[in-house]
Structure 1
Amino acid sequence: MITTKWNVENVDNIKEHPAIKEAAMWIREGEVIAFPTETVYGLGADACSNKAIEKIFEAKGRPSDNPLIVHIANKDQLAQAAFSWNETAERLMERFWPGPLTIILPKTERIAERTTAGLASVGVRMPDHPVALALIEASGLPLAAPSANRSGKPSPTIGEHVYQDLNGRIKGIIDGGATGVGLESTVVEVTGETVTILRPGGITKAQLETVVSEVKWDRALLESEQAPKSPGMKYTHYAPDAPLYLIEGNAAFFQSRIDEFQGEGKTVGVLVSEELASQLQADEVKSLGSSLQVEGVAQKLYHQLRAFDETEVDVILGETYPIDGMGEALMNRLLKAAGNRVIAENNERD
């Protein structure tokens, strides 16, 4: 398959752009199209077609028990995906849609079984990106759209990342430039007036608490081996080619770990804040920006993880961050990328 690439960055009147119309036509024909959202690039196909969804799994090499999030452009399409939602869910939609919040809802019969991995529920969100909204609206369909990368790789935040992973595997890529948030959406489940976070992301727990009184984590569910209700709840994700270890300790301890790996003959890369970068000596140092701006660190994470694939490093050592606000989502992705490998002071390497 020849993958078409359309560049629509900084285009006015995106709804009428020929690329949107052509891409929407291919989606209606059952093909897969990558497109930008405010979080990461998504890999979109008709959420109502098992045949179309199978092409997503084939392109990504994605485990079949991992459900896909359905993206909509307006509230009319919500009724195509979910048959009911309560007042709490409605308040969340009013406050955070369009935006990086996915809500788990009872699915309609129209949504394909492959989209939800056989579950009776479906994750739905309305992306906050003009290209995504224009494509979904032009297609006239709710679109299942996981991140547009090979399964397990860092999610793509620019169109070139998608091309590197999926050229020849999908029909087309709509390149709308760099994404904004840089991490995937927050996924929540609503039971009565209680909201449970299944995956941290672009909307923080504190933000959710401005709308609802009870927001909780089900950390046992996050680590469960049962069929996941949300993407990101099983398997190793977001990993660069070289193994990643997270280092928990001060700069001196971090440097000692670099020295240890180099002493074993390994070429070492480090992925750290600009504050820590100035204190370390390694073969390859990549900064995520100031640790005082966690949102900025999160935005750069996937881009810099992918950048290491262009180097010759044997191992990557990464910094840990406080689990607070966006730091919760940031550490969730770092731990997934590292396969939960953490080296802490006074503890041995896994």
Structure 2
Amino acid sequence: MSGPVAITAATLQRASEIVRRGGVVAFPTETYYGLAVDPFQPAALERLFAVKLRPADLPILVLVSGPEQLGLLAASVPPLFSVLIDRFWPGPLTLVCPARADLPARLTGDTGTVGVRQSPLAAANRLIAVCGGPITATSANLSGQPPAVTAAEVFAIFGDAVDLVLDGGPAPGGLGSTLVGVRAGRLHCLRAGVVPFAAVEACAAATLSPPLCRSPMAELHWDKATALVETAGDEALLEELLSLFRAAAAEDLEQMRQAVTAGDVAATMAAAHSLKGAAASLGIESIRSLAETVEQAGAASVPAAARKALPVLADLLDQLAAL
């Protein structure tokens, strides 16, 4: 391969022929550059794993042209996902569904699930169209390394190890797609990304009663808050609820401190999300808003946002302790 090529009707046709015969094509998405193979060809998936030096137990995400192609990959689509598809597709929200039994094990990583999204990028959708069906969209990088955001970076990483690099200009970079799954009827954030999980929760909560989309810690507080409403005026239960919140918030705050100290962006965001969920359940807007600021900060800004939030959160917890 001589280098990246511009995206034209001719190069897209060439790309589709490569994918159909089991090859690997790099292409731009709304987050990073991705690597496309036919997700239904085990040999193509084996080559993809070899090219990326990817551990065998990690599943591969897939792009579809729209919800109508979900049945090619998913054994079923959780009802909670329908409203998310309407709101966030096409967009960087990957929905993890139960996988069809006939999908290659390499695609699912033997998890029994498959992650699917619809890209808003025209170039990606044109590639799906000429290939005649879903394509993989794992990021163009060696496993554990930063994903490529330009065609030149892809070529520098892989060279002739990929069959074709389609140059669609720079990709945005930053966070990847948000991964969301369902466990026990509730939404769970499997990976933080471009779409804030708070927005996903809010979208689902607006259509469901009672809310079914809270973090595990927040579920406890929702149950307690419901009991509190049902026994209005029960000051003992109110104190129990506040005690539970103080203990859980203190734990989240300590986890956030450790994550910030270690420079662990993902752990910082996870702690902020858990803290925000509890605060939202109790209607404590000051803490919810502050935690949400940390959770929604861009990857490069999360440590700074968290450091700024820590003393304020500590003060708020002192105020709660005095209730």
- With the shorter chain as reference, the TM-score category is 0.5 to 0.7
Which residue pairs with 1:6 in the alignment? Answer: 5
Alignment of 1:54-203 (within 5 A): 54-180=46-172, 182-191=174-183, 193-203=185-195
| Deviations 1:29-79 (CA, angstroms, capped at 9, x unpaired) | 110101100011111101111100011111111111111111111222211
- Higher mean Cα deviation, 97-106 or 203-212? 203-212
Which residue pairs with 1:282 in the alignment? Answer: none
Taking a change above 3 Å as real, the CA distance of residues 54 and 96 of structure 1, as seen in their structure-2 partners, is: same
Which residue pairs with 2:233 in the alignment? Answer: none
Whole-angstrom CA distance in 2 between matches of 1:209 and 1:124: 18
Which residue pairs with 1:325 in the alignment? Answer: 296
Q: CA RMSD in A?
A: 2.7
**Counterpart secondary structure, 1:150:** coil
Instruction: Please identify which structure carries the higher helix content.
Output: 2
**Partner amino acid for 1:5?**
P
Whole-angstrom CA distance in 2 between matches of 1:117 and 1:331: 32
Q: Is the 8 A contact 2:4 2:152 kept in 1?
A: no
Whole-angstrom CA distance in 2 between matches of 1:215 and 1:164: 42
Match of 1:43 among 23, 26, 35: 35
Q: Is the 8 A contact 2:94 2:178 kept in 1?
A: yes
Q: Is the 8 A contact 2:78 2:97 kept in 1?
A: no
**Counterpart secondary structure, 2:37:** strand
Whole-angstrom CA distance in 1 between matches of 2:216 and 2:53: 28
Taking a change above 3 Å as real, the CA distance of residues 331 and 64 of structure 1, as seen in their structure-2 partners, is: farther
How high is the TM-score relative to the length of structure 1?
A: 0.60
Shift of 1:3: 5.9
Q: Is the 8 A contact 1:80 1:110 kept in 2?
A: no
**Partner amino acid for 2:49?**
F
Instruction: Please identify which structure carries the higher strand content.
Output: 1
Shift of 1:331: 7.3
Consecutive unaligned residues in structure 2, runs of 5 or more: 206-211, 218-258, 263-292, 304-323
Shift of 1:152: 1.5
Which has the higher Rg, Structure 1 or Structure 2?
Answer: 2
**Counterpart secondary structure, 1:167:** helix
Consecutive unaligned residues in structure 1, runs of 5 or more: 9-13, 220-245, 250-321, 335-350
Shift of 1:169: 0.7
Q: Is the 8 A contact 2:81 2:95 kept in 1?
A: yes
**Counterpart secondary structure, 1:105:** strand
| Deviations 1:283-329 (CA, angstroms, capped at 9, x unpaired) | xxxxxxxxxxxxxxxxxxxxxxxxxxxxxxxxxxxxxxx732144x5
Shift of 1:174: 0.6
Query: What is the percent sequence identity of the aligned residues?
Result: 32
Q: Is the 8 A contact 1:103 1:188 kept in 2?
A: yes
